[in-house]
Structure 1
Amino acid sequence: MMHLLRNARGMRVAIDTHDASVRAWWAPDRYGRLADVLGAAPPAARSSTGWQCASPDDGHLQLQLAQDGLSVRLSYRFDDDGSLHLDCVATSDTVSRFALAAPRFNLQGNHASVGDHVLRLAADRYWPGGGTGGSPHDVAGSAFDFRQPAPLASRLAWPALAHLPGFRHDFYWTGSGQLREAARVADPASGRVLRFSSTQDSCHLYSDARCFSLLAQDVQLQPGQARCFNLAYRLGVQDIDAFDISEPVSMMSNK
């Protein structure tokens, strides 16, 4: 079942109440034209199906999950400034792992490439995709340093990443507990800008030719433990000249 959240700016977000995923998000471009800015539906996260919906209204949605000793309360709130807030509290009677499916964005609102989407990510360390053991690497001097904004395609063209279809990497920054902006993605063609905020100290960056996502890390629980985290995705518009881009943007809508 889908539930629509609306705000005063005419934006709408569709939430799948079965798996708690965000399925569609209609947002205006710099000319006020609405489009769905989500790409392919995200895969269902582990331990994330079978949610129960409680007391929905136009701006809020409460979901609950009880499964195999795991109890999760998830609240969606859609604000008039274009922010979709996710507040999550999880407890468990057993060793458990919990994750949410991240919305996959294409800020052009169509099937164009996201290669020209410009990412700024306040992370000073990263973990190679599929890596196990060891410690995160310093981003300095690498294709993974997005502390200054850069287009996704320009970084994937670096020799170290040229064989990859996109990013599948974990990024880390200093500090957690406070909701803070960790990443910003701008699309020069539409003027849409996505801001990602989190109380965690890391996120997973996924991208392919047609979409990207910024995902909170899995939450691991020990028996009797309670964990909470907060996320926010905020969509707006911005003049690309106001976004300090460190590498060229082609401004092509399709590749």
Structure 2
Amino acid sequence: MMHLLHNARGMRVAIDAHDASVRAWWAPDRYGRLADVLGAAPPAAPASTGWRCAPPDDGHLLMHLAHDGLLVRLAYRLDDDGCLHLDCAATADTLSRFALAAPLFNLQGGRAAVGDHVLRLAADRYRPWPDGHSCSAPLDVAGSAFDFRQPAPFATRLAWPALVHLPGFRHDFYWTGSGQLREAARVADPASGRVLRFSSTQDSCHLYSDARCFSLLAQGVQLQPGQVMRFSLAYRLGVQDIDAFDISEPVSMMSNK
């Protein structure tokens, strides 16, 4: 079952009642044409069953999860400025870990490639996603393919020798400061003019990308017994002239069907 949120700009966001994930987001391009900008269904997050929710009310949706001693309250709100807010509060009776499913975006809509999508990410450190091996301390992005403090296209950076063997990004990025909701990343699609702004109260995010989609997501949280953990995210969709981006590397402007 899907719950739909609407705003005055004609946007529609579909939330899966089963796992609380964002499944579809219809948003206008620079010409006002609507398209679903989610590239694929996200993988189910851990502890993804047992969500309860009431029907959405005026762009708001409140969901609750109770699973093996883990209690989560998740509130969605879609504003008229194109901003989807997620406010999460979690507590647990035992040592627990909780993570949200990542919305997978393709700002062109459909199945076009995302290599020309331009990323600006206000992070000064990074490290690969842990794969079962010991995880080293974060590395400085300066001088590397992971320095997105000046905007650059995904494909351009993946062509660097250090990354040419990778199918995409699977990396954690870190910045200084947490607690306040602040913009951490911005992704622009030159073809459609759509721009996604990602904000978080955390001091890190996980960047995922492949040929057809990308995601920016807050880190999962580990809860000690009795601990209450709160965090907020915001995804804001709008349009912007690509010339307003101070892009450090060339964009091909091809759709790459």
Return the TM-score normalized by structure 1: 0.98
Residue 144 (str. 1) matches residue 146 (str. 2): yes
CA offset at residue 57 of structure 1? Answer: 1.6
Q: Distance in 1 between matches of 2:49 and 2:121?
A: 30
CA offset at residue 54 of structure 1? Answer: 2.6
Conservation of the 8 A alpha-carbon contact between 1:48 and 1:98: no
Conservation of the 8 A alpha-carbon contact between 2:3 and 2:55: no
Conservation of the 8 A alpha-carbon contact between 1:48 and 1:99: no
Q: What pairs with 1:100-249 in structure 2 (closer than 5 Å)?
A: 100-130=100-130, 132-249=134-251
**Identical positions, percent:** 85
Q: What pairs with 1:19-98 in structure 2 (closer than 5 Å)?
A: 19-98=19-98
Q: Distance in 2 between matches of 1:202 and 1:48?
A: 23
Q: Deviations over 1:134-170 (max 9, x none)?
A: 2100000000000000000000000000000000000
Q: Distance in 2 between matches of 1:65 and 1:96?
A: 13
CA offset at residue 110 of structure 1? Answer: 1.5
- Give the aligned residue type for 2:85: H
Q: Which runs of 5+ in 1 are unaligned?
A: none
Return the TM-score normalized by structure 2: 0.98
Conservation of the 8 A alpha-carbon contact between 2:141 and 2:147: yes
Q: Distance in 2 between matches of 1:59 and 1:40?
A: 23
Conservation of the 8 A alpha-carbon contact between 1:15 and 1:24: yes
Conservation of the 8 A alpha-carbon contact between 2:4 and 2:56: no
Conservation of the 8 A alpha-carbon contact between 1:6 and 1:59: yes
Q: Distance in 1 between matches of 2:49 and 2:75?
A: 16
Q: Distance in 2 between matches of 1:49 and 1:186?
A: 34
- Give the aligned residue type for 2:64: Q
Counterpart secondary structure, 1:244 = coil
Conservation of the 8 A alpha-carbon contact between 2:103 and 2:215: yes
Q: Distance in 2 between matches of 1:124 and 1:17?
A: 36
Counterpart secondary structure, 1:39 = strand
Moved over 2 A (4+): 129-134
Q: Distance in 1 between matches of 2:155 and 2:26?
A: 25
Conservation of the 8 A alpha-carbon contact between 1:4 and 1:58: no
Counterpart secondary structure, 2:40 = coil
Q: Which runs of 5+ in 2 are unaligned?
A: none
Q: Distance in 2 between matches of 1:11 and 1:116?
A: 24
